[in-house]
Structure 1
């Protein structure tokens, strides 16, 4: 299957597709350091190093020539920060959200059979237009339709449907597909001239543990130093534990102002567990609220361990500084998850259907039908 890749990053999704026999006709990436990573590993891959908003179907036809007529699929993971539940969400009102809409319009203009979109869980609930919480309440006008939960995804689905595509999506935990990491992502598949594509089916009954994934690494580890406020306390924390394992008289000192905040705060002074998959890899493993410390050593997970936990090959070169390497890997699609997507679509295209089995994540009712009912679509 021939495909075009957008927001290609460190080529995690692309590697998974290529492992399954897909062929990338071209990629698109704007970040200079990430472009170095792409060229270091795939020097012959045609790449458009430009903002996607400057790319049109006509330009693609000019740059790809006759290959542009052979595109079976468009794939991409548009920037997720606009929808992330970890930060301030602005939905499609955010400039990055507008990039998402341009990606959808571009894909429709190219008119492949399949469009595959990977994004964060927050996409399911993000509004089209964000109203700050400080401007909500009885003294303010009711939320408009564009400000309602799910408005961003509603606009995306409407665009695909208006162009003749059927849309299916669901939330998936990548640890159920052989990735040694609990990473929850929405995968949306739009199909032209056909019904909705069935949902992916988990490939693994039991998750791969961190011990299985990284214990045999024999290399010089590259990592960012821990923060000075973390160093005195981590020796008191064992594998799979966090700040709650500290002696009571140290807990308040260790957390500072966060001690009085709400929530479980499970990421503070957290060591990952040898006998479980990793928590979601973030773009900086030393952040106080999402620390990803090694199970035993006094350091965060290394760049090399990040590669393993994202199922990248050990010999895949990640360019840039240590911080830039973490960022590229933390933003990547796990390679094995990309492979699962590719094999699922190949089987579907070949007329092979499988009965749904195990749950795809810890959440229920995350597919397009349950979502439509919950947001009144």
Structure 2
């Protein structure tokens, strides 16, 4: 019997794409972002997309969209908007209105009564309010009859070519143990997937060059490239943002692995001329072929992070950012280029979602030991 998923705050659908790759059937999704909703609808044709603020949607709306009854849904997934908890928001905390959107998630949980729940958020949630946010979320699930655990996962340990940390809440109401995916990449495991492994086959671009639907630069040269390309014959969402003349002059001085510190003082932006050498470590950073991508944010702006191509003097494209997030190449993002970057940066890497989904499958199949069994065998 096919397992079912509904995705709240779905964005473009990175988490649901991962569950779909693991064999789940995505029946519905919701987001208030119009452009992200268009991408979700286009890439999840089997699902019903419910647009608009979650506050305006009832559990019955989701049940109708998914053609299911309360208690029949296998997994409810989602990532409530996280800006209120982000480490980039220095005023973060429970007072931020966006921080309370997890209550909407809990409201839908109460109405749908899924077997499993998966909620994703930024690591800043762990320190927000002195840990109040994490405690409140777990308490909220507990009051609805769910045993839930929270854990911080590192994307690169699961074959994703990016330094990315996210907090995951996973739980169920059916008395099964909580399982977590075992890392597959790192010391004593498979080598980390590098920037070269991820984007080395994508076409060359000049600064500001538009590139639509043309062939790849080369045959796939890594297992990761093969997986991302699947049967695709052309590249989409691959256009270089146009950088101004002063930024192009700055880029000439930045080697692989370098940053704003390599730019001559007289060429630095006015505000950065007052910066300490220990500040802004990622600004004007150029990626290295043999390293990981820095965390993909909603703006791949070179002034704010390491988003310069390893050898081409330009910022990374939406497609390159999507590769670092493990989106397959057939997954095309709609909307303006700015909106596309937002969709990619907000997403849960599909590969991480797939690992979580596969773990839930194994738990339900009895392949993950219960705490009692672990105690007996420990």
Contiguous gaps of at least 5 residues in structure 1: 128-148, 356-377
Report the equivalent of 2:248: 231
Written as runs of structure 1 = structure 2, the 5 A alignment for 1:244-323 is 244-246=261-263, 250-251=264-265, 253-261=267-275, 263-323=278-338
Distance 1:322 1:281, change over 3 A: same
Counterpart position of 1:27: 29
User: Secondary structure in 2 aligned to 1:102?
Assistant: helix
Deviation at 1:231, TM superposition (A): 2.2
| Other-structure match for 2:170 | 189
| Aligned partner of 1:3 among 2, 5, 20 | 5
**Kept after mapping to 2: 8 A contact 1:108/1:160:** no
Query: Bigger CA drift: 265-274 or 103-112?
Result: 103-112
Give the unaligned 5+ runs of structure 2.
205-210, 212-237, 371-378
Tell me by how many angstroms 1:259 deviates.
4.1
Q: Decide whether the 8 Å contact of 2:121 with 2:167 is kept in 1.
A: yes
RMSD after superposition: 2.1
CA distance in 1, matches of 2:92, 2:283: 26
Match of 1:367 in 2: none
Tell me, yes or no, if the aligned pair for 2:71 and 2:113 is still in contact at 8 Å: no
Q: 1:104 to 1:89 in 2, by over 3 A?
A: farther
- In 2, Cα distance between the equivalents of 1:264 and 1:22? 44
Verify: 1:210 aligned to 2:167, yes or no. no
Q: For residues 286-365 of structure 1, what are the structure 2 equivalents within 5 Å?
A: 286-353=301-368
Corresponding residue of 1:178: 159
Tell me the SS of whatever aligns to 1:203. Answer: coil
Larger deviation, residues 104-113 vs 310-319: 104-113
2:150 aligns with 169
SS in 1 for 2:363: helix
Equivalence for 2:231: none
Mark the CA change 1:64 to 1:339 in structure 2 (over 3 Å): closer, same or farther: closer
Separation in 2, partners of 1:182, 1:168: 23
TM-score by length of 2: 0.82
CA distance in 2, matches of 1:313, 1:7: 21
Instruction: Choose 65-74 or 279-288, whichever is displaced more.
Output: 65-74
Contact residue 224 and residue 300 of structure 1 kept, 8 A = yes
Corresponding pairs, count: 331
Secondary structure at the aligned position of 1:78 is classed as coil
> What residue in structure 2 maps to residue 114 of structure 1?
116
- Conservation of the 8 A alpha-carbon contact between 1:240 and 1:274: no
- Report the alpha carbon displacement of residue 291 of structure 1 after superposing the two structures with TM: 4.0
The residue that corresponds to 2:92 in the other structure is: 90
- Corresponding position of 2:61: 59
**TM-score normalized by the length of structure 1:** 0.82
Tell me by how many angstroms 1:10 deviates: 1.1
Q: Which residue of the other structure, out of 143, 158, 169, is the alignment partner of 2:139?
A: 158
Q: 1:60 to 1:197 in 2, by over 3 A?
A: same
Corresponding residue number in structure 2 for 1:140: none
**Deviation at residue 196 of structure 1 after TM alignment:** 5.0
Structure 1 stretches of at least 4 aligned residues deviating more than 6 Å after TM superposition: none
Tell me how far apart the structure 1 counterparts of residues 200 and 312 of structure 2 sit (CA, whole Å). 13
**Does structure 1 conserve the Cα–Cα contact (< 8 Å) formed by 2:70 and 2:113?**
no
1:93, distance to aligned residue in structure 2 (A): 2.4
Distance in 2 separating the partners of 1:55 and 1:92: 23
Q: Secondary structure at the match of 1:170?
A: strand
> 1:156 deviation in Å?
1.0
Aligned equivalents of 2:86, 2:329: Cα separation in 1: 29
Give 1:267 shift. Answer: 1.4
